[in-house]
Amino acid sequence: MSSLSVDHLLGIKYISAEDIQLIFETADQFKEVINRPIKKVPSLRDITIANLFFENSTRTRLSFELAEKRLSADVINFSAASSSVKKGETLIDTVNNILSMKVDMVVMRHPNPGAGLFLSKHVKASIVNAGDGAHEHPTQALLDCFSIRERLGDVAGKKVVIVGDILHSRVALSNIFALQKLGASVKVCGPKTLIPKYIDKLGVEVELNLEKALQWCDVANMLRVQNERMDSSYFPSTREYSLQYGLTKAHLEKLDKEIVVMHPGPINRGVEITSDVADSEQAIILDQVENGVAVRMAVIYLLASKINRDDR
C-alpha cells in the first residue's frame, strides 16, 4: 500500500489498519529527518496549509505548524478569537474565504463534534481533524500508538489501560479505535461518573480500581480531567480524585513488572500523575511530543500526495 485510502483524516474510525501502518512507516523516515542537523525537506514546497483553531491550543497547533514547516509548506495560521467568526460569519464562509487564497489543506480544531466531517462535504480541500469537541483527536492517537510501537516493538498483543476522564476525552476515543485496529487489548479506568454508558459497545472493559488496572496493563495512558467540558461535578474533590486515580511512584514500585507511562498533555502534576512518575524513565511523555511532529509530517505528506496526484 503506497497511498492512504482516504482523502481526509477526520477520525481513526474512518481509516484502516493498513492506513495506520503506512503513516507509521512514513513517520519512521521523517523522524530520521527531524533528527538531522538540517531538519527541513522540500517535499511540500507547492502546498499551502491553513491551520484553523476555533479552540485554544498550544501543543497541537505548534506541532502541526512545525511539521508543515519541516516539509517546506506555506502556512497560514488562523485564530477564531480574532476572526470574523466573532462577527457571525459561518464556518463554511470562513473556510471558503481562506480557500479562495488557493489553500490546499485545512488543519482544524473545533469545539463541535463532526465539524471536520461536515466541512469535508462542503469545501474543496483536504481536511485534517486536529480535535472536534469530545469526539476524536486522530493524530494524537496515531502518535500515541507510534510511541508504543517505538518503545515496545509492536502494538499488537499489548495491554493498554486509559485512565481518567474517559467521558469527555477525544483522545480516549481515538486511542480506543487505533489500538483495537492494531491488535491491542484496551481497558479504561476511572470514576464511574467519568465512564461513558456506551463504552461496552466499543469492546472495551472497565476497571474501576487503578491498582488492578496497572497490574493488568503493559501501558498506562493517563488523561487529565477535562474541567472545561464539565457542566456539573463528577467527583467530590480534586484531592479525592487524585487519591483514587492519580498515578504515583508507589504504584509503580508495587508492580512485579515495568510498565510504560504515557500522557497526552497538558499534565496536571499532582492530580492524575505525580512529578516523579512524569519525569521517570518509564514515562515516554516527551517522546510522544517528538513523535507528534514526525507523525503529523507523515499525515500531511501522504494527504498532500493525493492532492498532487488528483490535480495532474
Which residue matches cell numbers 500508538? 145
CA pseudo-torsion sign 284, 288, 289, 293: positive
CA pseudo-torsion sign 206, 138, 280, 62: negative
Active site residues: 59-60, 87, 109, 137
- Rounded to 5°, the CA angle 8-157-34 comes to 50
Strand, coil or helix: what is 80? helix
Strand, coil or helix: what is 51? strand
**Cα(128)–Cα(159) distance, rounded to whole angstroms?**
29
- Rounded to 5°, the CA angle 121-123-128 comes to 80
